[in-house]
Structure 1
Amino acid sequence: MTDQWVKFSTFGDAELVSLTGEIDLANAPDIGKEIVKRVQSAGKVLIDLTTVSFLDSAGVRLLDALVGDLSDHGTPTRLVVGERGAARMTLQLCAFREDVLATDLDRAAADLSG
């Protein structure tokens, strides 16, 4: 069961994936499978990481794979990381793609629409 770490909803015309808590080697593979099942046919995807308290290398690899696969299928994607926090810090330390990071949902949605 992954519903303690991942929730699905919509934000505007995008599929919204909200992650919370610790995303690490113990749960990243299962979370990834759930996300892939839900966003395969989405036109746009927002992944909200603002309530992630810990993100390890398995979580970074998961996000990299998701963003890459969605991009390969022409699905615009943004990661919402807030102004500060564990996910933002970890992704910046890993030199994650800045072009897919946004500070808040409204900005991220606007990026996908514009």
Structure 2
Amino acid sequence: MTDEWVSFSQRGVAALVHLRGEIDLANANDIGRAIVARVTDADAVLIDLTAVSFLDSAGVRLLDLIVGDLDDRGRPVKLVVGERGAARMTLQLCAFRTDLLATDLDRAAEELAG
């Protein structure tokens, strides 16, 4: 069950993915399958990482694959990482695409809508 780490809702035009807890080798594949199953037909995707307490290389690879797939299909995506926190720090250390990172969920949703 991935309910412990991922939940879904809608925010404007975007499918909203809420991730929480530790995202690592033990659960990244299951989380990835759950996300793909829910966002395949979405016009845009917001991934909220503000409640993630740990993100390892498997989690970064998961996000990279999801972003790549959405880019290939012409679907905009934003990763909400807050002002500080584990996900923001890890993604910055990995030189993840800064154009995809947002500090605020409302602002990210507005950017995707407009």
Alignment TM-score, normalising by the size of structure 2: 0.98
Where has structure 1 moved over 6 Å in runs of 4 or more? Answer: none
Residues 1:5 and 2:19 are matched in the alignment: no
Which residue in the other structure is 1:48 paired with? 48
Deviation of the 1:41 alpha carbon: 0.2
Distance in 2 (CA, whole Å) between partners of 1:81 and 1:71 is 19
Residues 71-110 of structure 1: matches in 2 within 5 Å?
71-110=71-110
Identity of aligned residues (%): 75
**Which ranges in structure 2 are unaligned for 5 or more consecutive residues?**
none
RMSD: 0.6
**Which ranges in structure 1 are unaligned for 5 or more consecutive residues?**
none
Which residue in the other structure is 1:63 paired with? 63
Which residue in the other structure is 2:37 paired with? 37
Alignment TM-score, normalising by the size of structure 1: 0.98
- Whether the aligned pair in 1 keeps the contact of 2:46 and 2:79 (CA below 8 Å) is yes
Distance in 2 (CA, whole Å) between partners of 1:104 and 1:17 is 14
Which residue in the other structure is 1:24 paired with? 24
Which string of whole-angstrom CA distances, capped at 9 and with x for unpartnered residues, describes residues 39-64 of structure 1?
Answer: 00000100000000000000000000
Secondary structure at the aligned position of 2:41 is classed as coil
Secondary structure at the aligned position of 1:96 is classed as coil
